Structure 1
Amino acid sequence: MRFLRVISLLALVAVLLGWTAPATATVTVTAAGGRLVDEYRSVFGTPGVAAAVIDGSSVETTVRGRDGDGNAVTARTRFRVASMSKSMTATAIMLLADRGRVSLDDPVVKVLPDFKMADPRFTGITVRQILSHTSGLSISTNNEYVFPPPRGAREVVAGLADKTLATAPGTHAEYHNTNYSIAARIVEVVSGKPFDAFLRTELFTPLGMTDTGSTLGCSDQAEGLTSGYEVVLGVAVAAPEMPGFCVGNGGVISTLDDMVRWLRFNQGTLGTGLLSAASLAELHTAQPNAGGYALGWQVRPVTADASPLLIGHGGTLATWTGDMVFSPRRGVAALVLTNGGGDPSLLSGNLVAERIGSPETPMSNPLTMVNAILLGLTAGMAALLVTVAVRARRWAARRRAARRPRLVLRLVPLALVTVLGVVLPTPIWGEFSFHYWIVTAWLMPLLAIFCLTCSVLGAVALGRRLWCLRRAGQAVSAPVPGGAPS
């Protein structure tokens, strides 16, 4: 049965890729790719993985695991590609540039008159700077994790009217999703089409990416898309995606087959008439002061301090992750799509490294230790606080005659634990905002459970001690029945 499934998969991929790929393209499943995918799934507990290696005219695919409905993953299973969408948004801008509708060095306000900020420097932001994350927009001045999230690119841009820049445009790089929502709005205004419609008609359809589309929100329903998974300590639970605005920056939904086409296009072997060679090369070129970021792509080594360089981009949501890379020098590319958390860049990098003979990077999951510690801390803290609450009456009886300052000092630790549980999720993500409680619940559920344990049980224990102290004080001051003897 396994042999028949492999043969069926090979035939399906061959048919889907054949009409636009070179006639000599072959599709196989390799032992090396399977070994690396299996190792990755073992390390990260990922329920479903679809991976591919492109080497010249050949495409080697590996699919493992299940989707959110429990069905076997195939080359046509739909995944959210998350921030890999940025490469498509940047290409949409470049298509308009090739047609003379916009220039990369145009100020954004020239092509987007409604774009306004409470910072006079915003008028200097160029299209190139938003695509290279050097616009000056920052999480420190623009919270991207607001709930409910904006519903479209127009709303995202309108929400910037009272925001400021963290740095002068063009001087500093900070990866900030809002840049690409601005880019999506530029596409809409310049083309006169909704962003999804432009991608579909001008990019996906010409490349034969018939199973690819996009949504405005990160958690929007889409045809054929099942849920992703939360994976904690090897336990995978199907879960809805965290609400958020994904238009332009992370809303694309695609398949392994279609994303192979996307990589082939960026390698220059598919859809060669869609975009000029110069524009395609510009997309992959690191930009000034951008820290290795290009336009919707990043320049990275195969391994630390190694060459040849790769062009790639990853994507991370709460329940979906992926990565894609290609080597312009070697003609080798790798693609990884998963329906759970993890670090797929490790797998894509190793798939390329294995093919070109470079050392592989050991795969490990640091969250395994972090989650194990959090689980232990949660259990220990819960046991401690429950014990404190249960013994509160005995504690109050022993301290009913103590002076008030000393009592206050004894209650401070419980108060600190309670406050810690409430505020701990907020500074982790950059600023104080209770919206980050929602982010923590999706991205680090055990941390959220630990914080909830501290805040709820801490408040219960503190409240019970105070209540027992009050009752103990009332018992001491109450008159003796019948009066005192004469």
Structure 2
Amino acid sequence: MRIQHTLSAVLAGLLLAAALSAPALAAEDTRIRTREEAARHAVRLAAEYGGADSIRYALWEGGEITLQGGWGVYSRSENRALTEDILYGVGSVSKTYTAAAVLKLCEEGALTLETPVAEILPEFCMADERYQSITVRMLLDHSSGLMGDSTRNAFLFDDTDPQAADALLRRLATQRLKAEPGAYCVYSNDGYTLAELVVEAASGMEYMDYVRAALLAPGELADTFAPGGDFDPDRLARTYASPQDPRALPQDTLGIVGTGGIYATAADLASFGGLLCGTELLSRASLDAMTADWAARGLWPEDSADDQLGYGLGWDNVHMFPFGQNGIQALVKGGDTLRYHAGLIVLPEHDMAVAVLSSGGVSTYNQLAGARILVDALAQRGITVDESWSLPEAEPARLPQAVLSYAGTYAGLTGMLTASFDEAGALTLAAPAALGGAPMTLTYYDDGSFRGEEETLLVKFIPEENGRVYLYEKAYSDIPGLVPLGAA
């Protein structure tokens, strides 16, 4: 019987790393004399690498915004400055607000993280009896087992219709789960839209009304909104359909606000991150739960220290590279709408947070620019962050015959790869031709990995107790002028 293969969800990090490994522009050799110049240089590179029209950043330290600025233009056709009050969609960074709102409701006694979702939402049901085991926490750490994203009519222009969230329960009612609840973490937008509904049911308020009352007002965050909110839409940075088109698109709106619909200024987003450094907003117990590495408690690779993914509650990673390898906890969340891109990084132990928001561009570049700003800020405090990286030491070796049985097609969150072996034992990984994937040929090493000639990538086949074989990939990329990208 053929082994059932599954591509590990962390392959998303590798594919993104490959895409970012050769930026179209190289960083120029520029002498940077001030913090402001260094920060502007970093965000300019992020914008140019990603093709952004505009980008703004803000650094929060010890209770205040100490540095902020931007690069690019508010509009291609309007004579308006890119000022501090310009708003951007933060995309999936909205999930961090949702996680904080749920934890606030836990503190108020309205629910617990281990409360079954079906107890809070009696109308929630699925065509799979295991749904009854899904807890609130599983929505926040992406371990619910939900298929992932059944969103319809959520990514809109100039339309604040909440139908995408309102119809979620009806869509889920006909679905089965892809895994036992709690078995492993795979990114799920539906999980957070369901969490948005949990916030509303537990609080008795509309989602954004509760977020405003429980998070924004206490934190004095006056520049954070949702589609249809009380703000001037002209404050939103203009977005465009293509690099050549001078016509601005209508307002970029998401009908799943708790999943990705929030707008904010860079300063407000950084300040929200700053509130998660201490106990002004959430209790220590809530913060500890939020920053725990929940992914590692399920099916997850052992060698995951530098992974691009390492889910907390509301965070993509709670040990972002290169901070984690230096003993500094770094929480990171990226976000993307149709045209906006965002990155938020928080260093709780150092009372620091940075936000980088852009119109157009790539959220990962924004995150790396934010990391560069934090590395420079730590250096001013006399704290050096070692950015060097290398694969574990190993030597080429003869391929064991048993490994040949792992040949086959691996499918996962980001696509498919076919693994095959030649007569010499070399591994070839190839994406379907329709997806434009170029084959990679890798050599077997004595630590059980396969590696490329440049020693920037390794691949391992990992048989698990559930009878499946997973393909684990780890890669590093140098991004000139920004911090390296460690992904797995």
> Which deviates further from its counterpart, 53-62 or 158-167?
53-62
Larger Rg: 1
C-alpha contact 2:99 2:314 (8 A) present in aligned 1: yes
Partner of 1:129: 138
Change (3 A) 1:222 1:169: farther
Change (3 A) 1:428 1:95: closer
Tell me the secondary structure at the aligned position of residue 351 of structure 1: helix
Deviation at 1:234, TM superposition (A): 8.4
- In the alignment, structure 1 segments of 5+ residues that lack a partner are 1-27, 363-426, 432-446, 449-486
Which of 333, 342, 358 is 2:385 aligned to?
Answer: 358
Q: Which has the higher contact order (CA 8 A, sep 6+)?
A: 2
Partner of 2:269: 259
Deviation at 1:256, TM superposition (A): 1.9
Q: How does 1:158-307 map to 2 (within 5 A)?
A: 158-215=170-227, 223-226=233-236, 228-230=238-240, 238-240=248-250, 245-268=255-278, 272-287=279-294, 288-289=297-298, 292-297=310-315, 298-303=317-322, 306-307=325-326
Deviation at 1:334, TM superposition (A): 1.8
Q: Distance in 1 between matches of 2:233 and 2:414?
A: 32
Q: How does 1:277-426 map to 2 (within 5 A)?
A: 277-287=284-294, 288-289=297-298, 292-297=310-315, 298-303=317-322, 306-307=325-326, 308-342=328-362, 343-356=365-378, 357-358=384-385
> Structure 2: which amino acid aligns with 1:358?
V
Deviation at 1:351, TM superposition (A): 1.5
Q: Deviations over 1:295-346 (max 9, x none)?
A: 1012132339733231111111221001011223333322101111213112
Which of 18, 41, 47 is 1:41 aligned to?
Answer: 47
C-alpha contact 1:133 1:174 (8 A) present in aligned 2: yes
> Structure 2: which amino acid aligns with 1:122?
Y
C-alpha contact 2:86 2:237 (8 A) present in aligned 1: no
Change (3 A) 1:244 1:88: closer
Change (3 A) 1:216 1:101: farther
Partner of 2:108: 99
What is the root-mean-square deviation in Å for CA atoms of aligned residues? Answer: 3.3
> Which deviates further from its counterpart, 152-161 or 307-316?
152-161
C-alpha contact 2:323 2:329 (8 A) present in aligned 1: no
Q: Distance in 1 between matches of 2:261 and 2:175?
A: 24
C-alpha contact 2:347 2:353 (8 A) present in aligned 1: yes
Q: Does 1:144 align with 2:151?
A: yes
- In the alignment, structure 2 segments of 5+ residues that lack a partner are 1-33, 157-161, 301-308, 379-383, 390-411, 417-433, 436-488
Q: Deviations over 1:396-454 (max 9, x none)?
A: xxxxxxxxxxxxxxxxxxxxxxxxxxxxxxx99769xxxxxxxxxxxxxxx99xxxxxx
> Structure 2: which amino acid aligns with 1:320?
Y
Change (3 A) 1:108 1:428: closer
Q: Distance in 1 between matches of 2:154 and 2:285?
A: 41
Change (3 A) 1:66 1:180: same
Deviation at 1:359, TM superposition (A): 5.4
Give the structure with the larger helix fraction.
Answer: 1
C-alpha contact 2:147 2:188 (8 A) present in aligned 1: yes
Give the structure with the larger strand fraction.
Answer: 2
C-alpha contact 1:318 1:341 (8 A) present in aligned 2: no
Deviation at 1:71, TM superposition (A): 2.2
Q: Distance in 2 between matches of 1:212 and 1:240?
A: 19
Q: What number of residue pairs does the alignment pair up? A: 335
